[in-house]
Amino acid sequence: MDSLCEFEGNSDMYGLGVRIGCYLQWSTSIFAENLYGPAVESCRDANTTFQFAMLAGLVLSTGNPKENAVALEGYIALLFCFASVWIASLQVLPAPKSDHADPLPWLNTKRAMRGAGDMLLNAAICSYGIYLLYVGFDQLQRTTCPETVFFFGSVELFGWFRIFLKVVLIISLIGSAATLLLRILSLFQQLYQFINQWRQSYMPQSPNPPERVRIVKISLTKLLGSIVGLGIFIVAIELTIAWNHIRNVYECASFSQLFPLVAGATNLARVIYQLTRSAVAGKTRIAWSY
């Protein structure tokens, strides 16, 4: 099949519903990380699901010759995956502070396991991205026009920008691997503490602290930085699709697109509702800082 300047995109991978669903889920993760700590765990679970699904779709479409994937589509899917890596990396930053502590050691163990799993997934994404940039893209179809992507302006994908992406992903892989090692060490430490307490016949029960107001201290710099970063990823994806005249990706008329759209919208609405209800009831107060 001859490649053209315009081509029909894979709507199941990055159609309108999929894109909006991912954008909403990313927004929900940032919202929870900065404003409503109790929803962080569930948001991370949902974000990991989106992240894994996008990586699986990327591997399936670019690794199977029968899919007739275009190199530019691999880049778009890789951009989605890398945005999810960035969202997950926000978990490394200091979490919103509150007056509630988690005294249960098994909760720390769970968080350590979750962090190690996230970093392992991030490392897998970076590794496959490096493979695509060095080998995979050259095995996929190309358009007859230069593939134009966004990087604070219009640049060609197969030029200096490709070299830049290789460097970025290699650095990201090193960072993910180092963070993974630290999280594995933390996991072993938490498991050791939990086993010691279990041997002493101490089984922690769910605490029942007195009802009190949770004060959430929000860093305005961190929040605005997260919003700006998210905006850059969204602009990069949308302009890449528009500039390369990709067709059939501006409708939402299939289950594969409705599912992530509904999931993303539902998660965002749930977190907003929970925060609003808690604030109206006087159980949550927000303090801003710079």
Phi, psi of 200 (to 5 degrees): -85, 15
Question: Is the predicted pLDDT of residue 229 greater than 60, yes or no?
Answer: yes
**Is the pLDDT higher at 287 or at 236?**
236
- Is 2 within the bounds of a domain? no
Q: Which of 103-107, 139-143, 229-233, 239-243 has the lowest mean pLDDT?
A: 103-107
Instruction: Identify the pLDDT of residue 99.
Output: 40
Average pLDDT over residues 267-277: 82
Question: Is the predicted pLDDT of residue 157 greater than 80, yes or no?
Answer: yes
Average pLDDT over residues 279-286: 66
Phi, psi of 206 (to 5 degrees): -65, 125
Residue 201 banded pLDDT, cuts 50, 70, 90: low
Instruction: Identify the pLDDT of residue 196.
Output: 64
- Is 1 within the bounds of a domain? no
Task: Report the distance separating Cα 9 and Cα 72, nearest Å.
Answer: 10
Query: Tokens standing for 149?
Result: 């992507």
- Is 275 within the bounds of a domain? yes
DSSP string, 155-209: EETTTHHHHHHHHHHHHHHHHHHHHHHHHHHHHHHHHHHHHHHHHTT-------P
Residue 246: strand, helix, or coil: strand
Tens digits of per-residue pLDDT, 86-135?
Answer: 776 665 444 444 444 444 444 555 666 666 777 788 888 888 889 888 98
Residue 238 banded pLDDT, cuts 50, 70, 90: very high
Instruction: Identify the pLDDT of residue 164.
Output: 92
Task: Report the distance separating Cα 75 and Cα 149, nearest Å.
Answer: 9
Average pLDDT over residues 249-268: 83
The two most distant CA atoms of the chain are separated, in Å, by 70
Domain count along the chain: 1
**Is the pLDDT higher at 104 or at 252?**
252
Domain range for 60: 7-289
Between helices 40-63 and 71-89, what is the axis angle to 10°?
160
Average pLDDT over residues 36-45: 73
Contacts of residue 114, defined as CB under 8 A and 6 or more positions apart, other chains included, come to 41, 44
Question: Is the predicted pLDDT of residue 69 greater than 60, yes or no?
Answer: yes
- Is 33 within the bounds of a domain? yes
Per cent of the chain over pLDDT 70 is 73
Residue 288 banded pLDDT, cuts 50, 70, 90: low
Average pLDDT over residues 190-197: 64
